[in-house]
Amino acid sequence: MSAYIIRRIWQMIPTMLGVIVLVFILFNAVGGDPAYVLAGKISSAEQIANIRRQLGVDQPYYVQLWIFIKQVLTADFGASWSTNEPVSHILATRLGPSLTLLVPWLILSTLISIGLALAVAYVRASLTDRMVMIACTVGLSISILVYIIVFQYVFAYKLGWFPVQGWGDSFWQNLVIYASLPIIILLVVSIAPDLRLYRTFVLDEVNQDYVRTARAKGVSENRIMWVHVLRNASIPIITQVMATVPGLLIGAFLLERFFSIPGIGREVILAVERSDFPVIKAITVYVAAATMIFNLLADLMYKAVDPRVQLK
Amino acid sequence: MIRRAPPAVSAAATCVAGAALVAALAVAPARAADPEKVLHLEFEAAETGFDPCKVQDYYSFVVNEGIFDSLLTYDYLARPAKLVPRAAEALPTVRDQARTYVFKIKKGIYFAADPAFKGRKRELTAEDFVYSIKRFKDPANRSPYESFIEGIAGLEELKKEAEKTGKFDYDRKVDGLQALDRYTLQVKLKDTDYTFAYVMALANFGAVAREVIEAYAEDTNAHPVGTGPYQLKEWVRSSKIILEANPGFRGFVWKFEPGTDPRDKEIVAAMKGKNMPQIGRVEISVIEEQQAAWLAFQNGELDVLHLREQFAPIAIPGNKVNAELAAAGARLDRITDPDLDYTYFNMADPDFGGFAKEKIALRRAIFMSFDNAEYLRVIRKGQAMEAQYPIPPGVVGHDAGYRTSIPYNPELANKLLDYFGYKRGGDGYRSWPDDRPLVWRYSSTPTSRDREFDELWQKSVERIGIRLQVDKNKFPEELKRERACQLLSRSAAWFADYPDGDDFMQLLYGPNTHQNNSACFQLPEWDRIYERTRALPPESPERNQLYRQLWRMAEVNGVWKLHDSRYRNMLVQPQVIGYKKHPILLAEYMYYDLDNTRRRR
Amino acid sequence: MPRDIQHTVSPGVWTLAWRRLWRDRVAMVSLAIVALFLVMMVLSGAGLIAKDWAKEVGVNYAPPTFQGPDVETAASGAAAGGPAAEAAPDQPTELPVQDPLADALAAIRGETKKAPGAESAGTESQNVDPLAEVMADIRAKGTKAEVAEARAPTLPLGGDKWGRDVLKKTIKGSETSIFVGLAAAVVAVFLGTVFGALAGYYGRWLDDFFNWFYSVFTAIPYLLLILAVAAVLQQKGTMTIVLILGLTGWTGVFRLIRGEYLKHKGREYVQAADAIGASNARRMFVHIFPNVSHVVLVQMSILTVAFIKSEVILSFLGFGVPVDVVSWGSMLNEAQNELILGKWWQLAAAGTAMAVLVTAFSLFTDALRDALDPKLK
């Protein structure tokens, strides 16, 4: 097992290197030159040159690339080019709000989706099943943008049940008051596809021989569902969840934008607009690392739950 | 030797001392700012930081103006904007045809408390202004506003030296920027410049303390310490800013005189004689989405809202607050921003630029195809006024009676193009006189606002058979290509830094190419006339006449198409007292008041 | 002796699948709806319907016909027009500035048309406003720039801010959105299949390389990848969006196809093909591919739906269709700020059309997947 883990970690290095080089090339080829915006209203060529020197972008590419690699190893990406805030500080402060949104949502979404999937599996192939699935399909065919606009207008403005936007100081205040509507929107958008998928996983299990055997032995339907089927269906479900987690951080940028939540997604968009390379670098590298680590964890969990699985 | 005990203080002396103390306390302004008065404001875009020499965005200025004292400022009520002293005792003495400025600084102004001062009370001196201005020339600060003090003699040498040695010598005496004594500042400029006093009213040139800057070195943006009425209490970047009244602020008494505006009398009645600042706490949220800000105001979460034009039709139909807002007691305060939106042609472009007649005709025809009236109605929702003159209202040099020589006239445009040989092909689109295909490349950013403008240009040039290609770039990219004179056309905007026409006319000055002369317009005759205007005092009719000529020259050569100056609509809740939006001042919160009893709900 | 032994030919995978689909009513309805949209797309692309979608036929923000005309907005719109420029331009200010086009303008206005090269030196006006005569002329003729066509106060599904017909925009928009979805899916599936086939079939270092490339690609946050690709390609048109989506969306297909090829590589029929001397390429694409084609088809269907939805987000980020093209994404983007003004029809039209198509497509994809699944009895 440990040999497997070591080999996997070893394999992360060329991947990380690939990410670094790719990001570097992409940014330098197309990233845009921040010096002109930083230079201000009235600036001469020498001021531009000065700024570029200060930012370190006037050095040859291989030097810049080497600096980038060193930054990854020391996990120190310097300071934002536009606000001078240390990148580590940016990430540390923005991570909180993003997680306040995503962790509760992840927990709720998984629990609800699994619960509903099992419930639907009870009545599989019936009209209810069909209706629910069609409702899900309709639900996921509406763009998240539409949900956000309409929900913010109806529930926050017209009905006044939630604040229209904003973020507070204390964790509980944020969780209960400000994050509620965004989390609800996320749930509405995610439960539909998740339910469809988990239903497939559950049905795959329900059709297996061991379930028929259990029924023949007289085990109650409840126990079959909640103990046996759930245990086996949880493997693909967990894999699925783990694989999508790293992408979530940035993925919630639409909500952060509309609800003025100071999270990582919003920060990324700001950084791209301002060609703020240190921030883009740091976020890319961290998300890439998180993706690889979560994939590894998913595989390990897979093996832990199902000993038959052979890890290559 | 036995030391004799000091004589007991006599009872009389105690009485006198006591009385004097009471009198002093009565006379000295009582701490005015009420911590119960909390003002909620919003920013449409994120701020950058609070080191006055390092930032260039509007929102950072709003905060900096409240924290730092510049030498001068503007009268809260007077329109057009009038310079008045702030940290200075009076307006500067101007000598040698506006080449020498002498400021006398008020005594007894203290910086807010900060550990960098090591427990001592730190008074503001002329040296602080010398230091603060020198910082703009330090290459390590890469200040975007450096060029505003380029005219000060002797600073350029210091900068060049710093570039060589890598360290800026703040202790070196510079002839052009000197503290004659503890409270007297003398500035000597290389050339006549009547606008320098305005520059000293900018929030950027507020005084900072050397000890603070050196103590916080790399993170000066997060540690603003000034002599102004507010200090930074809390800062969640790009999200929330909280200002609290500076307990050490000297305070001032509200005593502005009413102007011609009928609202002034009401404001004066409500505010006169009050000790300022009244508002104890200012909470600013960054709200980027228009809908969110508008809804937040209606929910009572904001006290003052800059109403985005999208919502004007429902919030202020007919330019009055709608019934719902009126019932809640909200008011509308509206000014014309001293800004200008215009579209330019790159005069250095090999195909579209230059002064050949057929090129001028092409540019002029394209400009004449654009209907400003439709633009104002549909895109600006009636919340802007058409600009016929490059100097907007409220700025010295504005000419309300000027009429353009290139009005909206697609018929004439078509005839002009036909006349100069831009023949239409089978698909209806014109080509160059030498039959090369003609494509007008117009640049804009990928925002929804720019997209609306693109759509209108698309419609416009369809009328005259010109093919349009919209190049989408991020703003930094656009700026870079524009500075290199590689962008053909773009719609740009310019917001006045100070209320003088020179701020706008310099946008067409030849030597400013590669900087703010976005059209890369270089006409020696034009430049000569412009240089003459620099030597004239602002209010002179001669300068105004020269400006008219300058603008007409640019007009007939098809350099710019003027669009509009925007209205700024501020919605104000009933609890805000004495509010009047100033065209240049940004931190009006130090001049008005809150009455919490008037909050609805 | 038995005569005419009936040779029953086993129905192939596709025939079986089709039979199963035919029996599934929901699938047939969905297919019909999708077909309807596709027909609409073709007609629109050929210019037979919605060709003049960009024409401003209604007043600004014309409400839908069933709602009735909006008197209030029209009135407040006029009032809010404010002190805009008047229709007829005023006399330009007189200034001692020479207009380089003075003689050209005079010639246009005048009877004789002179060629630009043959100007006579003395006719250039000096210190007089060069356009005064032209302007007087125009005003005398009472020229209005455009013939003011009557603008409809209502339209079937309402109008947008310029007064364009939302119904026509929705139809034309479907052409763009569906095209983007399909084309991007083709690109993504093509890339994913080729990469997956190469990786799964050849194995060893080629597989390692593709796996590494796949890891790098999926490690970079999707948003950043999109923004980077968008920046590289610049904004040249609808094809840009197709490429952005296609070049970033192949990873799922790659994983699946690689798995399939790994599975099939060792099967007997492949060994048989080897025995008869089929080349690697032939084995990959002639022998194995038909057996994985059902996976490819289902993936294409799934990706089409996903990309139609992604186009909306791309429009929001500013990387949507160019200004002379309309798509559902651009409509929804415009509709963002319209809802608060009470103008709900563009949001409803584009939202509903997209929901109907995506639902139908998704249901059909499900049915297709079930029909093609050999495990189903």
Q: What is the mean pLDDT of chain A?
A: 81
Q: Residue B365 in contact with residue B409, Cβ under 8 Å?
A: no
Contact check, Cβ <8 Å, C351/A29: no
Cβ neighbours, 10 Å, residue A24: 19
Give tens-digit pLDDT for C283-301: 777 778 878 888 888 889 8
Q: How far apart are CA A160 and CA A179, in angstroms?
A: 15
> Considering Cα of A255, then A258, then A262, then A268, what sign does the dihedral take?
positive
Distance CA A213, CA A219 (A): 9
Residue A274 to residue B143, Cβ atoms within 8 A: no
Q: Verify whether the Cβ–Cβ distance B298 to A157 is below 8 Å.
A: yes
A42/B516 touch (CB, cutoff 8 Å), yes or no: yes
Q: How large a percentage of chain B has pLDDT more than 90?
A: 65
Q: Cβ B416–C146 below 8 Å, yes or no?
A: no
Helical pair A127-140 and A87-122, crossing angle rounded to 10 deg: 160
Residues of chain B contacting residue C126, judged by C-beta atoms under 8 Å apart: none
SS3 category, A284: helix
Q: Kindly indicate the confidence band of residue A248, based on its pLDDT and cuts at 50, 70 and 90.
A: confident
Predicted confidence band at A37 (pLDDT cuts at 50, 70, 90)? low
Determine, for residues A251 and C222 on separate chains, whether the beta-carbon distance falls below 8 Å.
yes
From the list A41, A51, A262, which residue is nearest B238 (CB)? A262
Q: Do A165 and B296 touch (CB under 8 A)?
A: yes
Determine whether the interchain pair A29/C221 forms a contact, defined as Cβ–Cβ distance below 8 Å: no
Edge-to-edge, what's the strand order for the sheet holding B240-245?
B34-43, B279-286, B240-245, B230-236
Residue C216 corresponds to which amino acid? V
Q: Model confidence over C320-354: pLDDT tens digits?
A: 888 888 999 999 988 887 877 788 889 999 999 99
Query: Which pairing describes strands B467-472 and B439-444: parallel, antiparallel, or unpaired?
Result: parallel
Residue range A131-148, pLDDT digits in tens: 888 888 888 888 888 898
* Residue that wins the pLDDT comparison between C267 and C175: C175
State the Cα–Cα distance between residues A118 and C78, nearest whole angstrom.
59
Q: What pLDDT, on a 0 to 100 scale, did the predictor assign at position B556?
A: 92
Nearest CB to C85; choose among B310, B357, B386: B386
Proportion of chain C above pLDDT 70, given as a percent? 79
- Asked whether the beta carbons of B509 and B530 are under 8 A apart, the reply is yes
| Calpha distance C147→C87 (Å, rounded) | 13
DSSP code string of B502-568: HHHHGGG-GGGBTTTBTT----HHHHHHHHHHHTS-TT-HHHHHHHHHHHHHHHHTT-EEEEEEEEE
Q: What is the mean pLDDT of residues B300-322?
A: 89
Query: Residue B132: is it exposed, middle or buried by C-beta count within 10 angstroms (0-12/13-18/19+)?
Result: buried
Closest residue on chain C to B467 (Cα)? C324
Strands (E), B133-248: 177-181, 184-188, 230-236, 240-245
Instruction: Establish how many alpha carbons lie within 13 A of residue A275's alpha carbon, considering only the half-sphere containing its beta carbon.
Output: 25
Q: What digits encode the pLDDT tens for the residues A153-185?
A: 888 877 878 887 778 777 888 888 888 899 999
Tell me the chain B residues in contact with residue C92 when contact means C-beta distances shorter than 8 Å.
403-405, 407
The whole-number pLDDT of residue B440 equals 95
Say if the Cβ atoms of C212 and A15 lie within 8 Å.
yes
Q: Of A162-166, B480-484, B518-522, B568-572, which range is least confident?
A: A162-166
Give the least confident one: B14-28, B253-267, C334-348.
B14-28
Select the residue of A84, A164, A165 nearest B221 (Cβ to Cβ).
A84
Rounded to a whole number of angstroms, the distance from the CA of C25 to the nearest CA of chain B is 43
Reported confidence tier of residue C122, pLDDT bands at 50, 70, 90: very low
DSSP secondary structure code for residue B218 in this structure = G
Q: Chain C residue with minimal CA distance to A19?
A: C216
Confidence of residue A41 (pLDDT cuts 50, 70, 90): low
Q: What's the length of chain C?
A: 377
Which pLDDT value is given to residue C83?
36
Query: Residues C48-69: pLDDT tens digits?
Result: 887 788 887 887 888 888 777 7
**What residues are paired with B469 via a beta bridge?**
B441
Most C-contacting residue of B412, B475, B487 (CB-CB within 10 A), to test interface = B412
Q: How much is the pLDDT for C71?
A: 63
User: Residues of chain C whose C-beta is under 8 A from some C-beta in A?
Assistant: 26, 212-213, 215-216, 218-224, 227-228, 231-232, 305, 309, 312-313, 316-317, 332-333, 335-336, 339-340, 347, 351, 354-359, 362-363, 366
The 8 Å CB, 24+ separation contacts for C136-140 are C136/C91, C137/C109, C138/B409, C138/B411, C138/B412, C139/C88, C139/C89
Mean pLDDT, all residues of chain B: 89
Q: Give residues with Cβ within 8 angstroms of A254, minimum separation 6.
A: A144, A145, A148, A265, C313, C316
The answer to whether C26 and C360 are in contact (CB under 8 A) is no
The token duo for A161 is 């049940």
| Cβ-based contacts under 8 A for chains B and C | 174
- As a whole number of angstroms, the distance between CA B65 and CA B588 comes to 9
List all residues of chain C from 275 to 334 with a beta carbon under 8 Å from chain B.
Answer: 317-319, 322-324, 330, 333-334
Chain A residue with the nearest C-alpha to that of B238: A262
Q: Tell me which residue in C100, C105, C145 faces B408 most closely, judged by beta carbons.
A: C145
Query: Is any Cβ of chain B less than 8 angstroms from the Cβ of C233?
Result: no
- Taking CA atoms, B594 is separated from B247, B286, C161, in Å, by 19, 21, 39
User: Does the pLDDT at position B77 exceed 50?
Assistant: yes
Whether residue B408 is predicted with pLDDT greater than 80 in this model: the reply is yes
Interchain CB distance below 8 Å, B238 and A266: yes
Question: Which alpha helices (DSSP H) does B379-447 contain, by range?
Answer: 410-419
At C116, is the pLDDT very low, low, confident or very high (cuts 50, 70, 90)?
Answer: very low
Average pLDDT over residues A221-246: 77
d(CA B425, CA B129): 65
Query: Which pLDDT band, with edges at 50, 70 and 90, does C86 fall under?
Result: very low
Query: Which pLDDT score is estimated for C75?
Result: 45
In this predicted structure, what is the pLDDT of residue C117?
38
Report how far residue B216's alpha carbon sits from residue A118's, in angstroms, rounded to the nearest whole number.
Answer: 59
Of the two residues B531 and A7, the one the predictor is more confident about is B531
CA pair distance B507, C49, nearest whole angstrom = 48
What is the torsional sign of CA A152, A154, A160, A162? negative
Q: What is the pLDDT of residues B95-106, one digit of tens each?
A: 998 999 999 999
Residue A308 — very low, low, confident or very high, per pLDDT cuts 50/70/90?
low
Instruction: Find, among B179, B65, B49, the residue nearest to B124 by Cα.
Output: B179
C206 touches chain B (CB under 8 A): no
pLDDT-derived band at C124, boundaries 50, 70, 90: very low
Q: What mean pLDDT comes out for the span B131-145?
A: 90
Q: Is B144 on the interface with A (CB under 8 A)?
A: yes
Contact assessment for residue C282 and residue C158, using Cβ atoms and an 8 Å cutoff: no
Cβ(B149)–Cβ(B199) below 8 Å: yes
- Backbone φ and ψ for A160, nearest 5 degrees, come out as 70, 20
**A28-32, A192-196, A217-221, B33-37: segment of lowest average pLDDT:** A28-32
CA–CA separation, B34 and B245 (whole Å): 9
pTM: 0.81
**Chain A residues touching residue B222 (CB < 8 angstroms):** 85
C61: alpha, beta or left, given left = phi > 0 and alpha = psi -120 to 50? Answer: left
Highest mean pLDDT among A83-87, A294-298, B267-271, C15-19: B267-271
- E runs forming strands in B226-287: 230-236, 240-245, 252-253, 275-276, 279-286
Phi then psi for residue B442, to 5 deg, are -115, 130
Using CA atoms, how far apart are residues B550 and B390, in angstroms rounded to an integer?
10
Section B167-178 average pLDDT: 92
- How do beta strands B331-336 and B560-572 pair? antiparallel
Cβ contact (<8 Å) for B474 and C82?
no
- State the smallest CA–CA distance between residue A97 and chain C in angstroms: 19
B520: left (phi over 0), alpha (psi -120 to 50) or beta: left
pLDDT-above-70 percentage for chain A: 92
Is the pLDDT score of B499 beyond 60? yes
Residue B244 pLDDT > 70: yes
| CB interface of B with A, residues 450-489, below 8 Å | 474-477, 479-480, 483
Average pLDDT, chain C: 77
Amino acid at B564: D
Higher-confidence position of C146 and A133: A133
Do B455 and C162 count as a contact with CB atoms less than 8 A apart?
A: yes
Q: Tell me how many helices (H) and strands (E) chain A has.
A: 15, 0
* B402 contact partners, CB below 8 Å, separation of at least 6: B388, B389, B548, B551, C93
Domains of chain C from N-terminus onward: 14-53+165-371 (1.10.3720.10), 71-148 (no CATH)
Nearest to A153 among C215, C227, C340 (CB): C340
At residue A9, the pLDDT reads 85
Look at C351 and A254 and tell me if their CB atoms are within 8 Å. no
Alpha helices by DSSP H, listed for chain C, are 13-23, 25-45, 71-80, 102-109, 132-141, 166-202, 204-219, 222-233, 238-248, 251-265, 268-275, 280-282, 289-317, 328-335, 345-372
- Where do the H-state alpha helices sit in C234-344? 238-248, 251-265, 268-275, 280-282, 289-317, 328-335
In this structure, how many other beta carbons lie within 10 angstroms of the beta carbon of residue B463?
Answer: 17
Q: Note the pLDDT of residue C99.
A: 86
Tell which of B364, B403, B405 to mutate to test the C interface (max C CBs under 10 Å).
B405
Q: Which residues in B72-135 belong to E strands, given as ranges?
A: 72-74, 83-85, 93-95, 100-104
Give CA–CA dist B76/B333, Å, rounded.
14
B292 contacts in A (CB within 8 Å)? 152, 164-165, 258-260
User: Could C219 and A31 be called an inter-chain contact, meaning their C-beta atoms sit closer than 8 Å?
Assistant: no
Any chains having at least 3 CB pairs less than 8 A from chain A are B, C
DSSP B26-52: HHSPP---EEEEEEEEEESS----S-T
Cβ of C77 under 8 Å from any chain B Cβ?
Answer: yes
Judging contacts by C-beta atoms under 8 Å, the chain A residues touching residue B155 are none
β-strands B34-43, B279-286 pairing: parallel
Tell me the chain A residues in contact with residue B516 when contact means C-beta distances shorter than 8 Å.
41-42
pLDDT number for residue B183:
95
Chain C contact partners (≥3 CB pairs within 8 A): A, B
Q: Average pLDDT in the B560-583 region?
A: 94
The answer to whether residue B392 scores a pLDDT higher than 90 is: yes
Phi, psi of B383 (to 5 degrees): -100, 40
pLDDT of residue A150: 87
**Residues for chain B: how many in total?**
601
* Residue B41 pLDDT grade (very low, low, confident, very high; cuts 50, 70, 90): very high
Classify residue B377 by its DSSP letter.
Answer: I
Identify the residue whose tokens are 């524009």: B482
B317–C92 CB contact, under 8 Å: no
CB-based contact C95 B294, cutoff 8 Å: no
Average pLDDT, stretch B390-397?
91
In sequence order, the 6+-apart residues with CB closer than 8 A to the CB of A164 are A152, A156, A157, B291, B292, B295, B296, B299, B301
Residue C115, pLDDT above cutoff 60: no
